[in-house]
């Protein structure tokens, strides 16, 4: 059984107005979690940071993630950065008016990274392989991230598309990852389609709220919990902390009820001590 992961974090976008603070911390935390608790070998974890995370590089790494899969393989794609929306490009869903997209470092609005890119990966997997998609980014047509304020206030992970409406109300939205979920993957999204995901100051550092509370929920359950259980726990904790975002879980019922990342593996006391501070 192989365990492989692709972790993408982008803080430093070319436009200084779009820069974030917690995305690199997100993928560092996820890398430690996968390595020390879920048995992912360091060589099997690909990390793309800032300028490394181009459209071509992400597409290439997604293809590499899915190559030569077999039944029982565990695959993870984690993205922390900006998200946005574009008009539906191919008309493959006639009810949709907008497609959600991820925002690579070199975002090209004429060739965006869409749900179709990830859907092709999921459809190419062995039927017994497991793909978890974790998105700590905005799924919002509202356009503008909150203006920079006091250090403790969260920023929002959203970039406006050219000519975007100031709000996306009344427009059908095709969530990034829906194609993968329909093909059997499990999707954990940081918020609803009309919301933003917070880039916030938490526990002494800037982090994505979705990633931070996902790791907390797993730690509180000794890293043995289903996707359904941790999603409910994240929703409760985010609400209690005053975050309006509502994490979403999509995928087949049997996948939503499965253990996160296939369940934990045994670790030594030294390994446990090394990961505890990051949770």
Packing angle between helix 55-66 and helix 115-123, nearest 10 degrees? 20
Q: Give the CA distances from residue 230 to residues 22, 84, 262, 265, 279, in Å, rounded to whole numbers and listed in that order.
A: 21, 26, 14, 18, 14
Active-site residue flag, 137:
no
Question: Tokens 């490009």 label which residue?
Answer: 89
Using alpha carbons only, what angle is made at residue 198 by residues 5 and 115, rounded to the nearest 5 degrees? Answer: 50
Q: In terms of Cα–Cα distance, which of 207, 30, 246, 12 is closest to 133?
A: 30
Question: Tokens 């509502």 label which residue?
Answer: 246
Pick the catalytic residue from 78, 82, 130, 210. 82
Q: 3-class secondary structure for 252-263?
A: CHHHHCCEHHHC
Question: Tokens 């050219």 label which residue?
Answer: 162
Reduce the DSSP state of residue 16 to 3 states and report it: helix
Dist. CA 161–CA 142, nearest whole Å: 10
Active-site residue flag, 82:
yes
For the residues of 41-74, what is the DSSP string, one character each? -GGGEEEEEGGG--HHHHHHHHHHHHTT--TT-E
Pick the catalytic residue from 138, 139, 191, 215. 138
Contact 275, 265 (CB under 8 A): no
Residues tagged active-site:
82, 138
């Amino acid at each position: 059984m192989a365990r492989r992961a692709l972790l993408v974090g982008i803080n430093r976008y070319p436009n200084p107005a779009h820069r974030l603070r917690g995305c690199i911390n997100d993928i560092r935390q996820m890398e430690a979690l996968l390595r020390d608790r879920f048995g992912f070998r360091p060589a099997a974890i690909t990390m793309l940071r800032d300028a490394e995370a181009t459209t071509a590089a992400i597409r290439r790494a997604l293809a590499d993630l899915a190559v030569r899969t077999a039944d029982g393989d565990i695959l993870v794609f984690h993205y922390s950065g900006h998200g946005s929306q574009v008009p539906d490009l191919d008309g493959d869903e006639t009810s949709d008016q907008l497609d959600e997209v991820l925002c690579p470092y070199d975002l090209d609005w004429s060739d965006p990274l869409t749900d179709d890119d990830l859907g092709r990966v999921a459809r190419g997997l062995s039927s017994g392989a497991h793909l978890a998609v974790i998105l700590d980014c905005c799924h919002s047509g509202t356009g503008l991230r909150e203006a920079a304020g006091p250090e403790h206030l969260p920023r929002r992970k959203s970039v406006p598309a050219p000519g975007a409406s100031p709000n996306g109300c009344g427009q059908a939205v095709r969530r990034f990852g829906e194609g993968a979920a329909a093909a059997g993957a499990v999707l954990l999204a940081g918020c609803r389609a009309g919301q933003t995901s917070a880039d916030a100051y938490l526990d002494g550092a800037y982090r994505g709220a979705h990633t931070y509370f996902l790791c907390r929920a797993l730690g509180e359950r000794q890293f043995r919990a289903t996707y359904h259980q941790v999603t409910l726990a994240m929703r409760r904790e985010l609400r209690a902390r005053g975050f309006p975002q509502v994490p979403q879980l999509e995928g087949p019922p049997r996948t939503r009820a499965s253990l996160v990342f296939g369940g934990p593996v045994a670790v030594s006391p030294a390994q446990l001590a090394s990961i505890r501070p990051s949770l």
